Amino acid sequence: MKKGHCLLLGLFIGILTIFFSPTWAADSKATASKPSAKAGYHIYAHSHNDYEHERPLLDALDNRCYSVEADIWLVDGKILVSHNEGNYKGGLKELYLDPLQKMADEKGSVFGDGETIYLWLDIKDPRPELRTALQELLDRYSMFTVYTDKEIKAGAVTAILTGDAESKTQFVEQFPVRKFCRDSNYYKPEDPKADNRWLWYAPNWKNYINWNGEGEIAPDQYAKLVDMVNDAHAKGRKIRFWSVPDKTSYWKLALETGIDQINTDKLADLNLFLEQR
C-alpha cells in the first residue's frame, strides 16, 4: 500500500475511534474512598437483606455497618419486614425504628460518633396504602434526616427508598416534607443532576459490569465502572451496587473506585477487612 494511502487509512480509523468508542474508553481515573475520621472505612459497610441475619439490625451494628436494608410490606395496617410476601420477620417499628431511636437518643447518633446510619427501605408492596402508612410511621421519630425540595436537615438516621420504581417515585412526589429520599435501580449517562428527591443509585452489578470477582477485572470493565461512579458523583448522587461478588476482591475494588457502599451478607468478614484497612 502506498504511503499516502496508509496515512488516509490511519486518519479514517482514528476518526472512527473518536466517534464510536464508548465513553468509558477514555483515561478514566478512580477516586478512592476516604475513611471517616471516627468511623474509618466502616462508613461504607452495607448489610444487604439485613433482616435475614439472626439478630436483625443488632448483628449489623455489632459488625460496625453504617447501612442496613429492610424489605417492607403493608399487612393489616402494619408495616412488616420480609423479602417475600408471608414469612414475615417482624415489624419495621420493632426491629429497626424503636432500637435506632433509642440509640440516637442516648448517644446523639447511633454509634455516638456523629455519623448518620442509612436505613434502606425496599418497597416490595406497590399498593398506595403503604405510602401513607410509612409516612405516618416515620413521622413519629425525630432521628430521621428531613427532606424538602429546598433543603435537607441531617439526622442520626437517613432513610432511602429503593425497590418498586413507581412507588418510590410517588413517595417523594406526594409528600413535600418527608423523612426519606429515593434511589434509582438503573443508571443512564443522560440522567439529570440530583435533587433532594433522588440522591442515590442502586443498580444490579450484573447488568452493568462483567466481572465475578475472580482474577483481575478487565481494563474496559474497570474503566466503565470508574466512569459510572464518577458520573454519579458529578451528578450529586451516591451509588451502591447489589448482586455483587461478595468477596475481598470486590471489597477492594469498591474502595479503590469510590463506590459509596459495599453490599455484603458476610458481616463479620467485611468488618475484619475494613478494620485491617
* 96 assigned to some structural domain: yes
Backbone φ and ψ for 197, nearest 5 degrees, come out as: -95, -45
Three-class HEC string of the chain: CCHHHHHHHHHHHHHHHHHHCCHHHCCCCCCCCCCECCCEHHHHEEECCHHHCCCCCHHHHHCCCCEEEEEEEEECCEEEECCCCCCCCEEHHHHHHHHHHHHHHHHCCCCCCCCCEEEEEEECCCCCHHHHHHHHHHCCCCCECEECCCCEECCCEEEEEEECHHHHHHHHHHCCCECCEEEECCCCCCCCCCCCCEEEECCEHHHCCCCCCCCCCCHHHHHHHHHHHHHHHHCCCEEECECCCCCHHHHHHHHHHCCCEEEECCHHHHHHHHHHC
In a domain, 11, yes or no: no
pLDDT for the residue numbered 86: 87
Whether 16 is in a domain gets the answer no
Residue 17 domain-assigned?
A: no
Going by C-beta distance under 8 Å and a sequence separation of 6 or more, which residues neighbour residue 2?
Answer: none
Per the structure, the count of domains in the chain is 1
User: By the 8 A CB rule, do 241 and 205 touch?
Assistant: yes
Question: Kind of pairing, strands 152-153 and 90-91?
Answer: unpaired
Domain membership of residue 4 (yes or no) is no
Predicted pLDDT of residue 27: 53
Please give, one letter per residue, the 3-state secondary structure of 156-217. CEEEEEEECHHHHHHHHHHCCCECCEEEECCCCCCCCCCCCCEEEECCEHHHCCCCCCCCCC
Does 218 map to a domain? yes
Residue range(s) defining the domain that contains residue 183: 35-276
Query: pTM of the prediction?
Result: 0.90
Q: Which of 204, 264, 252, 203 is nearest to 46 (CA)?
A: 264
CATH number of the domain that residue 113 is part of: 3.20.20.190
Q: What is the pLDDT along the chain (277 residues), one digit of tens a residue?
A: 554 554 444 444 344 443 343 444 445 799 999 999 999 999 999 999 999 999 999 999 999 999 999 999 999 999 999 999 988 999 999 999 999 999 999 999 999 999 999 999 999 999 999 999 999 999 999 999 999 999 999 999 999 999 999 999 999 999 999 999 999 999 999 999 999 999 999 999 999 999 999 999 999 999 999 999 999 999 999 999 999 999 999 999 999 999 999 999 999 999 999 999 9
Residue 160 lies in a domain: yes
Tell me, what's the pLDDT at 28? 76
Residue 138 lies in a domain: yes
| Closest CA relative to residue 206, chosen from 164, 245, 254 | 245
Place of cell 469498591: 254
